[in-house]
Chains A and B, each alone.
Chain A
């Protein structure tokens, strides 16, 4: 049973950042902007968030500083995403190009600034954010160890965002308008929706979530930030496509992938797998191979927003 608890707890560390960032990407693409810059935005969000923690850790107590850092990361993400939105909406730029530019800019900028401040590119921080056992909830049998022990505030934040995303997308006027702008912007414009504003909104939400996602990916898995999020932005993009641009399916995809990743990372701690004569590299391949196989048998129809990636042209049909 302990193994199961351990696996579930570990899965959260991998899945929640993927969930957050993929949901971010969903808002951008549902509005019609492909945001391949998720990776870069994650890096910059993690960079400012960790820099904030590392600077003020002595003065501000644990969970407060985590919440403040998440706000810093989200703000950074929004700022960066504005550059992408400006290129994609105002300048009608190729969204892949603009996103690639941000992905290239982010690690270089993070390393450069880190070196200017502290001569090395790594930014260390003390992980004092782990919640060993949530008061009250953590002592519930079964559910306690599964969801309320060895956890982080960010996990619950992730689920909160999931619910909010679902409601916002399918139950509000904003969501309906956003989806219209991603499917058929000219039709949306014809009924008085400001397509540019909606696309800006979608991209900025994606920036905020990707920024936070970068931070909450680094915190449980590392003790320093070294200008990389190990390709998780691209994986989130994959989770988004795997999840067919829908919050509930994205949840499924993120957890499928996170669980596979956990097995790959922790197989040596699982008694049954330890005995199998399979080398570590093969386990590491499993998450990606499994995703490929699932996709090959499930994705005959694509739920991609029809106008995603196409600059909005008022005169178009």
Chain B
């Protein structure tokens, strides 16, 4: 009885209407995607759409790929979400991502003197530090020079990209592949049995213990935001900086710390991607790291909540893997990005949808309450 009551309270509560409006946005996005497939090739559309929906978990290999692709975007998603929670918009995750990735690869290639089981940990720490440093610059400029963080983040993206390209050529360049050298085996993240589980025969997925690191970080951020004084102060600055300052919170250092944590997450994301043992390196080209920008939709879809970001990252990654499978039916994988864009667009309507759902919920509860009242009145009369 109690649990039923709890469930009912949850269903009519705010969390449920948040989640429900996200689900409705997802339904609309999938529907639009299906229409596009139908429009471009009616005969293949149902099969292609089936591949999108189930491709991400159709077998253990694909499930592993879903995990593998989810890790970097979960981290950049956490980066963006954390900054948003504290009233900042970190659009610089791309630059932080690439400097983090470079720092990790540098340690991975050069610091072979480190004992085996600490090598990858040091590499991850280096990425955290590099990302935090890259995030600190917009933070400092915002806090002490009142420069809008959006513009500095955009500039730092380009500075990071060009600097990393320069440093790669000077330090860890593989001219044959025009990318970074392979890191030492001990710098790669341990597989921890992921490769044994997520495979089909000899067809191994890229899944590795990076998933656990991503989950750990989500929990850490959640604890910081919900259970610590620091998190409380950062959120207070995000909600109303003047009020926070009046209450004695040091808003300046709050901004810097928040941007550093945010940057560290993006930097770690870069490390987890390139230390996954897939043999990929950072290629030397004048292109900003895509993963940084992909963190923005993941954060928004996850409602800027750390756990929501994990779910959103898995969801987006699952669709992406589904998109690869869809190519069997001769559809361009860009449909997936269109679908995600539509989902995000409609999730922006959440405010109105939530209001609608809530008022429906209230009306329903009011009706139920008045119904109970009438029943009681009637019972009294009899």
Binding site for B on A (CB under 8 A): 83, 87, 91-94, 96-98, 100-105, 107-109, 111-112, 115-116, 231, 234-235, 237-238, 241-242, 279, 281-282, 284-285, 287-289, 291-292, 295-297, 299-302, 304, 311
Choice from A94, A105, A115, A299 contacting B338 with Cβ under 8 Å: A105
Tell me the minimal C-beta distance from B35 to chain A in angstroms: 13
Using A97-B300, A281-B162, A281-B166 as known contacts, say yes or no to A91 and B351 having CB atoms under 8 A apart: yes
Q: Which residue of A lies closest to B36 (CB)?
A: A112
Contact check, A94 vs B348: say whether CB atoms are below 8 A apart: yes
Contact check, A296 vs B148: say whether CB atoms are below 8 A apart: no
B208-216, B228-236, B329-337, B370-378: which lies at the interface: B329-337
Contact check, B141 vs A104: say whether CB atoms are below 8 A apart: no
- Residues in B with CB closer than 8 Å to A279 are 166
Contact check, A301 vs B146: say whether CB atoms are below 8 A apart: yes
Tell me the minimal C-beta distance from A115 to chain B in angstroms: 5
Tell me the minimal C-beta distance from A316 to chain B in angstroms: 14
29 A–B contacts, CB within 8 A, in A order: A83-B345, A91-B352, A92-B352, A93-B349, A93-B351, A93-B352, A94-B351, A100-B344, A103-B293, A104-B340, A105-B345, A107-B337, A108-B338, A112-B338, A116-B40, A116-B332, A231-B157, A237-B150, A237-B151, A241-B151, A284-B286, A285-B158, A285-B159, A288-B156, A288-B159, A288-B162, A289-B155, A292-B152, A302-B146
Task: State A112–B165 Cα separation when bound (angstroms).
Answer: 30
Q: Max chain A CB contacts within 10 Å: which of B36, B349, B352?
A: B349
Contact check, B341 vs A101: say whether CB atoms are below 8 A apart: yes
- Residues in A with CB closer than 8 Å to B146 are 299-302
- Residues in B with CB closer than 8 Å to A289 are 155, 159
Contact check, A295 vs B162: say whether CB atoms are below 8 A apart: no
Choice from A94, A98, A237, A282 contacting B154 with Cβ under 8 Å: A237
B163 in the interface (beta carbon within 8 A) = yes
Contact check, A97 vs B166: say whether CB atoms are below 8 A apart: no
Using A87-B348, A91-B352 as known contacts, say yes or no to A295 and B151 having CB atoms under 8 A apart: yes
Contact check, B342 vs A282: say whether CB atoms are below 8 A apart: no
Tell me the minimal C-beta distance from B24 to chain A in angstroms: 13
B132 in the interface (beta carbon within 8 A) = no
- Residues in A with CB closer than 8 Å to B157 are 231
Using A238-B151, A284-B286 as known contacts, say yes or no to A108 and B341 having CB atoms under 8 A apart: yes
Tell me the minimal C-beta distance from B320 to chain A in angstroms: 12
- Residues in B with CB closer than 8 Å to A299 are 145-148
Interface of A is mostly: helix
Interface of B is mostly: helix
- Residues in A with CB closer than 8 Å to B351 are 91-94, 311
- Residues in B with CB closer than 8 Å to A103 are 293
Contact check, A234 vs B91: say whether CB atoms are below 8 A apart: yes
Using A285-B162, A292-B155 as known contacts, say yes or no to A101 and B145 having CB atoms under 8 A apart: no
In the complex, how many residue pairs between chain A and chain B have their CB atoms under 8 Å apart? 140
List 15 extra interface pairs beyond A97-B345, A234-B154, A285-B162, CB under 8 A: A91-B351, A92-B351, A93-B351, A104-B340, A105-B337, A112-B335, A231-B157, A231-B288, A242-B151, A285-B163, A297-B145, A299-B145, A299-B147, A300-B145, A302-B148
Contact check, A102 vs B345: say whether CB atoms are below 8 A apart: yes
- Residues in A with CB closer than 8 Å to B150 are 237-238, 241
Task: State A288–B156 Cα separation when bound (angstroms).
Answer: 7
- Residues in B with CB closer than 8 Å to A98 are 345, 348
B296 in the interface (beta carbon within 8 A) = yes
Choice from B286, B344, B350 contacting A101 with Cβ under 8 Å: B344
Task: State A279–B154 Cα separation when bound (angstroms).
Answer: 22
Q: Which residue of A lies closest to B144 (CB)?
A: A296
In order of increasing CB-CB distance, the 4 nearest A-B pairs are: A108-B337, A105-B341, A281-B166, A93-B348
- Residues in A with CB closer than 8 Å to B344 are 97, 100-101, 104
Contact check, B338 vs A109: say whether CB atoms are below 8 A apart: yes
Interface residues of B in 283-322 (CB under 8 A from A): 286, 288, 293, 296-297, 300
- Residues in B with CB closer than 8 Å to A288 are 155-156, 158-159, 162
- Residues in A with CB closer than 8 Å to B286 are 284
Using A109-B334, A237-B151 as known contacts, say yes or no to A292 and B341 having CB atoms under 8 A apart: no
B186 in the interface (beta carbon within 8 A) = no
- Residues in A with CB closer than 8 Å to B347 are 97
Contact check, A296 vs B147: say whether CB atoms are below 8 A apart: yes
- Residues in A with CB closer than 8 Å to B156 are 288, 292
B89 in the interface (beta carbon within 8 A) = yes
Tell me the minimal C-beta distance from B299 to chain A in angstroms: 9
Choice from A105, A234, A242, A304 contacting B342 with Cβ under 8 Å: A105
